[in-house]
Amino acid sequence: MLKRVHFNTKLLPFLLVAPQIIITLVFFFWPASQALFQSLRIEDAFGLSSQFVWFDNFKELIADPNYLEAFSRTAEFSILVAAIAMLSALLLAAMADRIVKGALAYRTMLIWPYAIAPVIAGALWVFMFDPTLGIFVYALDALGIDWNYKLNGGQAMTLVILAAAWKQIAYNFLFFVAAMQSIPKSLIEAAAIDGAGPWRRFWTIVLPLISPTTFFLLVVNVVYAFFDTFGIIDSMTQGGPASNTEILVYKVYYDGFVGLDLGSSAAQSVILMAIVIALTVVQFRYIERKVDY
Amino acid sequence: MIENRPFVTFLAHLTVITGILIVAFPIWITFVAASHDAIRMTQVPIPLWPGDQFLINMKQALTQGLGGAGGPPVWLMLTNSLITAMMIAVGKIIISLLSAYAIVYFKFPFRMGFFWMIFITLMLPVEVRILPTFKVVADLNLLDSYWGMTLPLIASATATFMFRQVFLTIPDELLEAARIDGAGPMRFFWDILIPMSRTNIAALFVILFIYGWNQYLWPLLITTDPNLYTVTIGIKQMLNSAELTPEWNVIMMTALLAMVPPVFVVLSMQKMFVKGLTETDK
């Protein structure tokens, strides 16, 4: 941690950490503790009076079918986003790994959706699937499929999942490619000499060896689907129709800023915090015992 | 190349090209929509081939924004996005360089305490504590200001960790030599550590710039003044008004303009970007 050779100046190190510590205290520790405190209270909508209620907000949430539904909806959403984004990225990476000529050009063409803001991604997909104008709606119509994501909850969910996964493919692709390139060529060559074809080599050598990356990406993708998709949801469906795409982070925002139910929103924040902390701990414990090739 | 299997290689190219086409299709549609006039964009089916109104739409978006919506012109929103993205990226880099330097190179009381305080912030994205953080910003009178839009997002641990990692790999002999030559702590920091971590700073900048540019929820909560809207908020406002008066040509032009800076940064600094991405997250 500390360098063997270091300075012993008294005041300077405090000045150096001060900016970060002050920002962390003011915008992180203080609000986080407020959220904890707030989650144990109920307040009327005008903020005139508030009351300490212990864990009533949490009990209410657990008993609330809407919240439980949002919970399972979020689980479904994040699993599907992670699965689609990772599987398509894995396929593309495995194929790109074979390519020698033009590999860099291919990579360049695949990575840029990463740079697009979730809201903008949402706008593009809304436009493509707009019930009256969308190009895909026109195509689906020709196939006899009636598409209106503004009315049909299942279609709305499909659409936000596709948009969220589309944006994440680039990220996963980069990590898979990097992991595959770090596998020693001699291993692959030895297997090829022993007569293993590309498919066999992928299953028995490549896939097991990139499993740490796969696990890391799984956590990252789930965290992405949980939190970073707010912009996608807000620009495409606003949680609708009839709450069919309301995931947890959207509900925190909606209950807090639109519904003004501060206690419940804070309790939801605390639950989300617990989920993130659990995911981070899992990820760190796993990375600690990272596999070396 | 391990073995020569022309069919498999052909299949690989085919898959990757198909993937690229699927990934790029939404962008193509955006480009096409941004190059037609408003009337053409209300006729089904919408075109798949670019029209000739691209520059006219660009001029309208940049100088007027969406005609009927009364929102700010897009150039103003792009400027706001640029200012906030730069403040977030530069701010994060500066405070984390300083704190990582203190934690690695100084022995002082509460050193580990500070380290853990920073470490914990790694775990909580701003989305989960929006309401209380909003309250803090409101109490500090920072609503509707660039500082309010950026400061809460600057508190993050990833950059500090990366610089800590980088500093730990710098050989001790450098500090010994600098000391013998009579350099003080700040002199060592400026003349040796900063130049030695230049590539890492650049890599981190790419990631943080994109992170800052793409922020949406936070600036949305903090700003009520349209003159402070970033382009991500602007798009959302335009989508809202698209329900009544669809001017998809201008909306898609704005989306395109909003994509250009971060995509340009990623493509022009691709090596740095890949380095930054794989090193900060792990």
- What is the predicted ipTM? 0.85
What residues of A are in contact with residue B30 (Cβ under 8 Å)? 124, 127
Contact A287 B8 (CB under 8 A): no
**Summary mean pLDDT of chain A:** 83
Q: State pLDDT tens for residues A49-82.
A: 677 777 777 887 888 888 888 889 999 999 999 9
Task: Flag if B16 and A92 touch (Cβ within 8 Å).
Answer: yes
Nearest to B176 among A5, A29, A166 (CB): A5
Query: Shortest Cα distance from B198 to chain A (angstroms)?
Result: 19
CA distance A44 to A31: 20
User: What pLDDT is recorded for position B106?
Assistant: 86
CB < 8 Å to A168, chain B = none
Kindly identify which residue of chain A lies nearest to residue B42, measuring between CA atoms: A133
Is the model's pLDDT at A189 over the cut of 70?
yes
Q: Give me the residue from B12, B130, B266 closest to A253, CB to CB.
A: B130
pLDDT 10s digits, B13-39: 888 889 889 888 888 988 888 888 777
Chain B nearest-CA residue for A165: B23
**CB–CB contact A24 B117 (8 Å):** yes
Contact pairs from chain A to chain B, CB under 8 Å: 294
Q: Which residues of chain B have pLDDT under 50?
A: 282
Residue of A103 and A289 predicted with greater confidence: A103
pTM beyond 0.80? yes
Is A16 close to B155, i.e. CB distance below 8 A?
A: no
**B277 neighbourhood in chain A, CB within 8 Å:** 171, 174
Q: What are phi and psi of A43, to 5 degrees?
A: -130, 145
Q: Which of B4, B16, B112 to mutate to test the interface with A (most CBs of A within 10 A)?
A: B16
In this complex, which of B17, B155, B214 lies closest to A27 when CB atoms are compared? Answer: B155
pLDDT at B39: 74
The confidence score (pLDDT) of residue B280 equals 62
